[in-house]
């Protein structure tokens, strides 16, 4: 469950860690995280609070292994347990707004850079790791032998209770069955490319300077995996009817 800690409580937590009074400023939150910015030693940082620590581990792994001039990733300063139910992460702050918040002209101007960023992620050397699917931040390895195995796993009853989904009165059960059947029938045609993919590319995970314009950072690597990089493009295609930046 997303946390709802008060700003003063979190300010005391950070102040105790840094040995000085720290003032937190709320900034745009993620779907699962509380997010604040603060200044320390004339530098800007971000504090995130999340129920799951694994995403913070993945961000730290991504910074150490993937960050470059072509793939700007904020440095993770530290992460750990905040309470029995939540974890914290402190990282350097990447300035700017999200691609999702940019206007149409800015998005159009950035399309070549967005394409280059997507290609650069797919060009990262992952030859020292193994497997397909979402990888672990512990050793960089993923659990599946093939990309198709990973796609089949999406409908594994141990991971998703599709009968419960269909039982929801607001869900068209026949449509769910048809989509599942179509999805499974098409897996055999999918590429077995093994490249790095972000897992949630675009929209609110790409931070930009809207005035230049340029890309400042790509964040939130918790769904990063190995496999077909066009999966990220499929994600953009899915969101296109809701988000102008994804449509473009």
Could you tell me the pLDDT band of residue 176, with boundaries at 50, 70 and 90?
confident
Residue 202 has pLDDT above 80, yes or no: yes
Q: Out of 59, 200, 220, 232, which one is annotated catalytic? A: 200
Neighbour tally for 225: CB within 10 Å: 22
Active site residue 200: yes
Structural domains of the chain, with CATH: 7-92 (3.30.200.150), 97-247 (3.90.1200.10)
pLDDT value of position 180:
87
pLDDT tens profile 181-196: 999 999 999 999 999 9
Residue 159 has pLDDT above 70, yes or no: no
- DSSP structure class, residue 189: G
The single residue listed with the structure tokens 């940082």 is: 45
More reliable by pLDDT, 140 or 160? 140
The CA-based angle 21-22-26, given to 5 degrees, is 150
Give the pLDDT confidence of 218-234 residue by residue, as tens digits: 999 999 999 999 999 99
User: Over the stretch 53-90, which tens digit does the pLDDT of each residue have?
Assistant: 999 999 999 999 999 999 999 999 999 999 999 999 99
Q: How far apart (Å, rounded) are the C-alpha atoms in residues 248 and 240?
A: 8
pLDDT of 162 above 80: no
């Amino acid at each position: 469950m997303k946390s709802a800690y008060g700003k003063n409580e979190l300010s005391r937590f950070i102040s105790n860690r840094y040995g000085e009074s720290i003032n937190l400023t709320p900034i745009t939150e993620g779907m699962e995280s509380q997010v604040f910015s603060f200044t320390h030693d004339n530098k800007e940082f971000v504090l995130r609070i999340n129920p799951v620590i694994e995403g913070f581990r993945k961000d730290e792994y991504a910074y150490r292994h993937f960050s470059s001039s072509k793939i700007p990733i904020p440095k993770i300063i530290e992460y750990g347990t905040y309470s029995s139910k939540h974890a914290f992460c402190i990282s350097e702050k990447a300035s700017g707004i999200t691609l999702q918040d940019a206007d149409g002209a800015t998005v159009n101007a950035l399309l070549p850079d967005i394409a280059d960023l997507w290609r650069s992620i797919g060009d990262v050397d992952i030859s020292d790791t193994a497997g397909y699917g979402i990888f672990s931040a512990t050793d960089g390895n993923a659990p599946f032998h093939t990309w198709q195995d990973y796609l089949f796993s999406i409908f594994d009853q141990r991971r998703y209770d599709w009968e419960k989904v269909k039982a929801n009165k607001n869900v068209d059960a026949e449509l769910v069955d048809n989509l599942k059947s179509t999805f499974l029938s098409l897996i055999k045609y999918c590429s077995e490319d093994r490249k790095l993919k972000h897992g949630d590319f675009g929209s609110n995970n790409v931070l930009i300077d809207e005035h230049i314009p340029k890309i400042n950072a790509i964040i939130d690597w918790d769904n990063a995996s190995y496999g077909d990089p066009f999966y990220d493009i499929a994600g953009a295609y899915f969101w296109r009817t809701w988000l102008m930046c994804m449509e473009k």
